[in-house]
Structure 1
Amino acid sequence: MAPVNDPYILEVWKALPTDSITAGWRTIDLVQIGPCRIKAAKYLPDNLEALLVGFPDVVVAPNSQLPQGKGFKMVRAGLGKSGGDHQWLAIVRQPTGPLELFATMVADISNFLASSEQLNEQLLYRRFLGRVRGWQEFMRRGGDGLSSEAELGLVGELNALSMLVTKNVPLYTVVNSWKGPAGGLHDYSFGTGALEVKSTMTSGAFRVRITSLEQLDDPVIPPLYLMAMRFSDGDRGKTLTQIIEGIRSHLDADLGASILFEQALLDVGYLDMHSDKYTQRYQLHEVRIHLVDAEFPRLTSSSISPCILRAQYELDLSLINAENCSFDATLTALGVIDGTH
């Protein structure tokens, strides 16, 4: 299947009828992915644009359990004889939802499903709902792209991911360990410890911001390492979009890893439609990695008054005497690579 883009989706919707005596769905087939079918649609007389996805065998969730987003709703749809034996789910634009952004969402979901065609129907259904929930969160936050602070944070996490890939860690393992976009307490969790990534563009003092009392608390599964990256602005640096494209090229060899990565980007709020916005170039200038142990300076719930319920604070790593660990030594301690080779 050739990639579906926003202008094509908009043209397909225009080709559908806008008035009819009989209420119901008006559809045009877009693509078939294995046993699953995808249609562009409108529901009359409301005349609202929609994407229909049909599954022949899975048990489709009731409307009350389906994701609902700002600007769209998701419902079960009955197509009668034209729907065959499939069970249909409809993502329907709401009157307040911008048409162009909804078209971007529909194109993204269509391409996402097409890239997942090697999965069985049950997994495809789950990936589909996960993608819609990612858009639900994206719409909730607002569709204007990442803030400067969020962009810098993402650049740091992606640099850590790129460094993991160079260590020949299995691609799926690398992406699956990236928990930051899904709201994990730490950016990377390996089951044998965790890695918290911080980014800064400050000169002089190496300051990083800790966003909660729990972030550097004693981990459930030790050890915990703090990986801080200092970036500078320079012509030799890469934009956020360039970093992402480089990672995508590495992940082409593993479909499962690619699917996870694209979902993570959506969860964190990155869309290709905003790529022109990300013009800042980031050149990695310095990396510091510290084991977060009893001697490491930090604020935790157990170390302060119980009257303080939450806090954010800054650490100046240039004043810390703790050992600056190498990346290889850190991954060995986390059990990610074998330090004997």
Structure 2
Amino acid sequence: MTHVRSVMTMSLRTTELDPWRGIKGISSASYYPSRRVSADLNPKGRRIDWSISESGNRALIVEYQGAVDSSPVPRFKGMRIREDKPGHLLMLELTEPSMRDVFLKVCLDIIAVLQSIPEDIQRQACLHRLERWSVFFRTERIGLGAKEQKGLIAELVCLENLLTSFDSHTVIASWVGPDRAVHDFIFGQDAIEVKSNRGSGTPNITISSVDQLTVNEKERLFLFVVELNQSAAGSGLTMTQYVERVRNRIASPLAESAFEEKLATAGYFDVDDYSGMTWSQGMTRVFSVTDDFPHIDGSLLDPAISNATYRVNLDACGKFETTKNELLTTLRGV
């Protein structure tokens, strides 16, 4: 990719459906006719241009500042990303015309992110955001089902509670549930397993593996159980609203970028429509999982049994119940 110097500065209103309309000129390997993204989308005046590639495809060119780090450029179907490291340029090029609406959303998202990012980390933040979108392009979009929504919302509720005592970088880094780790949050030798249930009438929770409630003498494990029920429209929050509630608590742009990556790994994307299902949140219960907490010990199972799923009645676990404050105090090491 060659350095782009020629930029057409025609104005563009955000109400236009096609920001590439009217870009004139013949593209080649050394020249891309371009239009600077206008101030209503780009109030910080970042060097970001709508452009047409030499293949005639819609493109977005980002000229970034600062040193080039080792972060790799993601690859995925439907969109190509090229980089001119000497020229400090990234080009996003649409290669699958049927995905043009999603491509525009990606471009607008990148533009918005770069407004709040310090100039010396523009490349890193841009690639982090693109990595999040790459998951979207790799997968068939059907959105999260009710069970997946419920599980993710419970983890977001736990994350919100952790943000009251820890900085956003620490909390997002500790959130390993989307990575399919054994537990949902890891703080050194401490771990949190998040579960959801339907309230006092159904106190059982499902344990999906023999490892989930197994601890050794150096570990401390907590159960964080959130009551969640599907509710009538208008009486609860959608999946999207729960996500937005957490976003509003994250002040650091880099932590927000990491949060978006975790959401993508979990299968959540803003472009999916979750307006048809709302969830009401009830009480939260916390339990300290010690050796004598009711559980299946994998070390005692017959070797022929490779795994097991079982249910625990929380009403029979009262002596292990603790508080959210005690959980946070333990994690802080106070």
Q: Does structure 1 retain, via aligned residues, the 8 Å contact 2:27–2:53?
A: no
Matches within 5 A, 1:280-319: 280-299=277-296, 301-319=298-316
Structure 2 residue aligned with 1:278: 275
Among 59, 64, 75, the alignment partner of 1:55 is 64
**Within 2, Cα distance between the matches of 1:129 and 1:335?**
32
Work out whether 1:146 is the aligned partner of 2:167: no
Amino acid aligned to 1:40: W
**Within 2, Cα distance between the matches of 1:66 and 1:335?**
37
Q: Deviations over 1:269-304 (max 9, x none)?
A: 333333x52343322223222222222233464343
Q: Does structure 1 retain, via aligned residues, the 8 Å contact 2:204–2:313?
A: yes
Structure 2 residue aligned with 1:82: none
Structure 2 residue aligned with 1:75: 82
Among 14, 27, 39, the alignment partner of 2:21 is 14
Residue 302 of structure 2 aligns to a residue in which SS? coil
Shift of 1:193: 0.9
Summarize the Cα distance change of 1:230–1:323 in structure 2 as closer, same or farther, 3 Å threshold: same
Summarize the Cα distance change of 1:245–1:130 in structure 2 as closer, same or farther, 3 Å threshold: closer
TM-score (norm 2): 0.78
Structure 2 residue aligned with 1:242: 241
**Within 2, Cα distance between the matches of 1:294 and 1:129?**
44
Structure 1 residue aligned with 2:9: none
Residue 287 of structure 2 aligns to a residue in which SS? strand
**Within 2, Cα distance between the matches of 1:140 and 1:221?**
40
Amino acid aligned to 1:26: P
Summarize the Cα distance change of 1:208–1:97 in structure 2 as closer, same or farther, 3 Å threshold: farther
Q: How many residues align?
A: 317
Summarize the Cα distance change of 1:126–1:35 in structure 2 as closer, same or farther, 3 Å threshold: farther
Gaps of 5+ in 2: 1-11
**Within 2, Cα distance between the matches of 1:25 and 1:208?**
58
Q: Deviations over 1:50-100 (max 9, x none)?
A: 2222335533669xx42112322222359xxxxxx6232222222265111
**Within 2, Cα distance between the matches of 1:148 and 1:332?**
33
Summarize the Cα distance change of 1:323–1:214 in structure 2 as closer, same or farther, 3 Å threshold: closer
Q: Deviations over 1:11-46 (max 9, x none)?
A: 2222334x84856633222278989732222213x3
Root-mean-square deviation (CA, aligned residues, Å) is 3.5
**Within 1, Cα distance between the matches of 2:304 and 2:97?**
43
Structure 1 residue aligned with 2:106: 105
Farther-moved stretch of structure 1 (190-199 vs 211-220): 211-220
Q: Does structure 1 retain, via aligned residues, the 8 Å contact 2:46–2:115?
A: no
Residue 129 of structure 1 aligns to a residue in which SS? helix
Structure 2 residue aligned with 1:81: none
Q: Does structure 2 retain, via aligned residues, the 8 Å contact 1:72–1:97?
A: no
Structure 2 residue aligned with 1:158: 156
Summarize the Cα distance change of 1:283–1:127 in structure 2 as closer, same or farther, 3 Å threshold: same
Q: Does structure 2 retain, via aligned residues, the 8 Å contact 1:192–1:334?
A: no
**Within 2, Cα distance between the matches of 1:196 and 1:39?**
45
Among 115, 132, 135, the alignment partner of 1:134 is 132
Q: Does structure 2 retain, via aligned residues, the 8 Å contact 1:56–1:87?
A: yes
Shift of 1:132: 1.2
**Within 1, Cα distance between the matches of 2:27 and 2:14?**
29
Structure 1 residue aligned with 2:191: 194
Residue 122 of structure 2 aligns to a residue in which SS? helix
Summarize the Cα distance change of 1:22–1:208 in structure 2 as closer, same or farther, 3 Å threshold: same
Farther-moved stretch of structure 1 (100-109 vs 87-96): 87-96
Structure 1 residue aligned with 2:48: 38
**Within 1, Cα distance between the matches of 2:63 and 2:264?**
23
Summarize the Cα distance change of 1:236–1:72 in structure 2 as closer, same or farther, 3 Å threshold: same
Q: Does structure 1 retain, via aligned residues, the 8 Å contact 2:223–2:289?
A: yes
Residue 61 of structure 2 aligns to a residue in which SS? strand
**Within 2, Cα distance between the matches of 1:192 and 1:269?**
28
Residue 247 of structure 2 aligns to a residue in which SS? helix
**Within 2, Cα distance between the matches of 1:33 and 1:217?**
52
Amino acid aligned to 2:19: V
Structure 2 residue aligned with 1:206: 203
**Within 1, Cα distance between the matches of 2:263 and 2:14?**
19
